[in-house]
Chain A
Amino acid sequence: MDPQTTKFTIAIVIALIIGIGVGYGIGFGTIRPGVVTVTTTETETVTHYVTQTTPATIVTTLTTPTTIIQAPVTLVVIGPWAGAEMEAFTEVLKAFEREHPNIKVEYRIYRAEDLASVAPPQFAAKMAPGDVIFTAWGWWAKKMGDQGHLLDLSGLVSTDDFIKGIFDPVKSGGKIYGLPFTAWAKPGFWYRKSFFQKHGLEPPKTWDEFLTLLDKLKDILGGPPIVTGDGVGWPISDVTEHFIITFGGTDLQLKLINGEVKFTDPQARSVFEDYLVPLIKEGYFSEPIEWTRALELWWKGDYALYFMGTWITGMVEDPGDLGFFPLPGCKGVVMGTDYIIVPKYTEHKEEALLLAKWLATEGQKVHAGTKAGKFATWLKVSMEDHWKPMQEVFTKLKEMSPMPDLDDTVGGDWQKLFWDQLKLLWVEPGKLDQVLNTLTVNFPKE
């Protein structure tokens, strides 16, 4: 062998050794061992092979409240809440950590729309961005579950203990892919009681009174009285759905969701043409403004009315100054919940399921008592357990029928299209035909 070939061979061997060494090092540092030790209070030590544990056995384990997991574990929880909403949710996680000292929880913020983009490729690679994930999109949880990426959570809680129908969006073929957390509602236009008192204004009882109120407010403010929240688009869809439910009835909302009525049908069209579009054209709505900034402007008094969900109660300085009214004649209110899902690829299945179960039950009690502006879907949480301002809101909401959110239920690419087209309508109301046609043509066929 000549000296050059010898050097070449040595170089390759060294490269292989280094490569294998580095690869092994990475693997050693990142891949967890497949065995964890679990000890029960009966001092019996049981060794579980995580990779061999089936969901059924996990459920069985979890129904034994005496199970204590000895090895400290950190769970990653993904949720959409930031700012004041996150502070409220953090109280819930802290309460869990107090009850389960061996489990630490790390919270990460992902908006639902970002999660829907980021998670599927990770799921496809059999990875989980988090151990317990919150999403407001039941359709998405169901889709991921049907694709085999989520654990079946049926049997983890008693569905009878929850608000009726709350599991429907996440049920598929006898399996339940999500547990409900606390709920929110989008009940109507929020106003500051002090502002209304100062100007001698009253919430309207008829459509004409509503129009008169808008005129008065426009004169007082010298500009649009209703601030339009924006972001990726959902606040505009919320106010639109409120008009649909008010003037088309709860039946129309359901038929639009199911695709039984098209947006171009006279019944749906008239809601836009006779009620919503004239208000936009008259300049009663502001340009779309990022929703948290819109909240500040509205609270500051630049605008008088803001259509938003109940979580607004936890985002203002003085919730006692808050009042709301639905559009006169409205019989339904869009309500929804954040679903708790557990990816199949979590490395801490037992702990993740334990946390998911706790959040859906005891965690709701803690959350409902915070300034989150939510109410419990677990029926074992009493009215008195709720934060005081929410008790008043909840009492008012009892008079209205709960309705599913249109775009959250239809989901998929159409949801983004719906938001985008409504933004277009808001700035160019003359394009109503184009908007309704686009929504109809692109509505999911199945």
Chain B
Amino acid sequence: MKIGGSALNRFSFLIPGLILITIFVVYPIVATIILSFNINPIPGIDIIGGRSSGLENYYKVLSSPKFINSYGIKTMTFPMGAIIHNIIWIALHLPLTIILGLLLAVLFQHVRGGAIIRSFIFLGMVIPMIVGGLLIQFSFDKDLGVVNLFLKIIGLRWLAKSWTIYPDTALFSLILGSIWLWTGFSVTIYSAGLASIPREIIEAAIVDGADFKTILFKIIVPLLKPVTITVLAMTILWDLKIFDIVYASTQGGPGGASMVLALLMYDYFARVQNYPMAAAVAAILTVITLPVVIIWIKIATKGE
């Protein structure tokens, strides 16, 4: 049987996929960007409501305290603005997810019943994020929450409060909750990565007298670099588009203390019904996430 064929023949196989991608991916992106400049993406259908076209939406979004709150940043109090909250989220969530994921994967690699424990950790990923948000809210509840119960048991009763309702702790409680939800992902990926490391390399290091620390940092971590890059990129992207957890647990409150970019976009879209403003936030979010994706793809394809 002949494999290959003419360029036309090969191209024909791409057509259905390309049509679908054009309709469901390319067109919405282009339409969103057009709309963000107060231009109707579909001629004849008025979505912009008579607003004049230009950069007005971008100016409004970028200068809004909901996006970046200079007073909050100066005084180091919440709210600091959605973009800063997303950055804080990444700054805390990313290293913790990577460290925890790697350590737990290494720890459970050769432990009896490790696969079962890994399955329990992975449960966080299986739960719908909107449910995860509600679970976080309950977990940090003053009376019902497991977190406060733990604090009371270890003698930190003074810390027991409903964390999600206070501006100083709302964002942090969500971030901590998201670590629980997302660590399953990094543990699974790292476990797969560990399984691909040839056992002989580790055994040779042990024969040469290397201790656990040396094996971890000189062999495992360098060999898991491609896996780490994947976890890093996926976690950053997840943190940037985080929405459901916040929506279900705090709605961005109190006083905007846990507002994030995706929720800001949703608020403009669904509550204010200002679709061009929502499109502007979406475009900004895309611009922020794009470099992460490009770098990730470049590094990933470099390996090939």
**Contact flag A8-B255 (CB < 8 Å), given A288-B165, A424-B167:** no
| A427 contacts B165, C-beta separation under 8 Å | yes
Q: Which of B31-82 contact A (CB under 8 A)?
A: 47
A428 interface hit (Cβ, 8 Å): yes
Q: Is the interface of A mostly helix, strand, loop or mixed?
A: helix
B6 / chain A contacts, CB cutoff of 8 Å: 4
The closest CB in chain A to the CB of B253 belongs to: A420
> A11 vs B166: C-alpha distance in the bound complex, in angstroms?
62
A64 interface hit (Cβ, 8 Å): no
B5 / chain A contacts, CB cutoff of 8 Å: 4
CB-defined interface of B271-290 with A at 8 Å, one 1/0 digit per residue? Answer: 11100000000000000000
A413 interface hit (Cβ, 8 Å): yes
B22 interface hit (Cβ, 8 Å): no
A416 interface hit (Cβ, 8 Å): yes
B267 interface hit (Cβ, 8 Å): yes
> A7 vs B13: C-alpha distance in the bound complex, in angstroms?
12
> A231 vs B16: C-alpha distance in the bound complex, in angstroms?
47
> A17 vs B12: C-alpha distance in the bound complex, in angstroms?
17
| B273 contacts A120, C-beta separation under 8 Å | yes
> A342 vs B121: C-alpha distance in the bound complex, in angstroms?
48
| B272 contacts A412, C-beta separation under 8 Å | yes
> A434 vs B165: C-alpha distance in the bound complex, in angstroms?
17
B114 interface hit (Cβ, 8 Å): no
| A413 contacts B16, C-beta separation under 8 Å | no
Q: A4-B8, A420-B251 are in contact. List 17 more A-B contacts (CB 8 A).
A: A8-B9, A8-B12, A116-B270, A116-B271, A117-B271, A120-B270, A120-B273, A232-B251, A287-B142, A288-B162, A289-B162, A413-B272, A424-B167, A427-B166, A427-B254, A434-B255, A435-B255
Q: List 23 A-B contacts (CB under 8 A).
A: A4-B9, A8-B9, A11-B12, A12-B12, A116-B270, A117-B270, A120-B270, A120-B273, A121-B270, A287-B142, A287-B162, A287-B165, A412-B272, A413-B267, A420-B254, A420-B255, A420-B256, A423-B165, A423-B253, A424-B257, A427-B254, A428-B166, A434-B255
**Contact flag A413-B271 (CB < 8 Å), given A4-B6, A420-B253:** yes
| A421 contacts B270, C-beta separation under 8 Å | no
B241 interface hit (Cβ, 8 Å): no
> A5 vs B11: C-alpha distance in the bound complex, in angstroms?
12
A15 interface hit (Cβ, 8 Å): yes
A8 / chain B contacts, CB cutoff of 8 Å: 8-9, 12
B118 interface hit (Cβ, 8 Å): no
A413 / chain B contacts, CB cutoff of 8 Å: 267, 271-272
The closest CB in chain B to the CB of A286 belongs to: B142
**Contact flag A427-B167 (CB < 8 Å), given A11-B12, A120-B273, A420-B255:** yes
**B contact residues, range:** 20 to 34
> A288 vs B255: C-alpha distance in the bound complex, in angstroms?
14
Q: Which of B245-275 contact A (CB under 8 A)?
A: 251-257, 267, 270-273
> A11 vs B10: C-alpha distance in the bound complex, in angstroms?
13
A421 / chain B contacts, CB cutoff of 8 Å: 255
> A321 vs B277: C-alpha distance in the bound complex, in angstroms?
51
| B8 contacts A423, C-beta separation under 8 Å | no
The closest CB in chain B to the CB of A113 belongs to: B271
The closest CB in chain A to the CB of B12 belongs to: A8
A427, chain B: closest CB distance, angstroms: 5
> A435 vs B254: C-alpha distance in the bound complex, in angstroms?
11
A232 / chain B contacts, CB cutoff of 8 Å: 251
A446, chain B: closest CB distance, angstroms: 14
The closest CB in chain A to the CB of B141 belongs to: A289
B27, chain A: closest CB distance, angstroms: 16
B86, chain A: closest CB distance, angstroms: 19
B252 / chain A contacts, CB cutoff of 8 Å: 420
B147, chain A: closest CB distance, angstroms: 15
- Nearest first, the 4 A-B pairs at minimum CB distance are A117-B270, A424-B255, A424-B254, A420-B253
Looking at A7, A233, A423, which has the most chain B CB atoms within 10 Å of its CB? A423
B161 / chain A contacts, CB cutoff of 8 Å: 287
B190, chain A: closest CB distance, angstroms: 37
B254 / chain A contacts, CB cutoff of 8 Å: 420, 423-424, 427
A7 / chain B contacts, CB cutoff of 8 Å: 9
B270 / chain A contacts, CB cutoff of 8 Å: 116-118, 120-121
B257 / chain A contacts, CB cutoff of 8 Å: 424
> A281 vs B270: C-alpha distance in the bound complex, in angstroms?
35
**Contact flag A416-B271 (CB < 8 Å), given A288-B165, A423-B255, A424-B254:** yes
B125, chain A: closest CB distance, angstroms: 26
B253 / chain A contacts, CB cutoff of 8 Å: 233, 420, 423-424
A428 / chain B contacts, CB cutoff of 8 Å: 166-167
Looking at A117, A412, A420, A426, which has the most chain B CB atoms within 10 Å of its CB? A420
> A420 vs B263: C-alpha distance in the bound complex, in angstroms?
14
> A233 vs B165: C-alpha distance in the bound complex, in angstroms?
11
> A420 vs B257: C-alpha distance in the bound complex, in angstroms?
10
B50, chain A: closest CB distance, angstroms: 13
Q: Which of A407-446 contact B (CB under 8 A)?
A: 412-413, 416, 420-421, 423-424, 426-428, 431, 434-435, 438
A132, chain B: closest CB distance, angstroms: 22
Looking at A120, A427, A428, A435, which has the most chain B CB atoms within 10 Å of its CB? A427
> A412 vs B52: C-alpha distance in the bound complex, in angstroms?
22
The closest CB in chain A to the CB of B268 belongs to: A413
CB-defined interface of A111-136 with B at 8 Å, one 1/0 digit per residue? Answer: 00000111011001000000000000
Q: Which of A313-335 contact B (CB under 8 A)?
A: none
CB-defined interface of A328-367 with B at 8 Å, one 1/0 digit per residue? Answer: 0000000000000000000000000000000000000000
CB-defined interface of A80-118 with B at 8 Å, one 1/0 digit per residue? Answer: 000000000000000000000000000000000000111
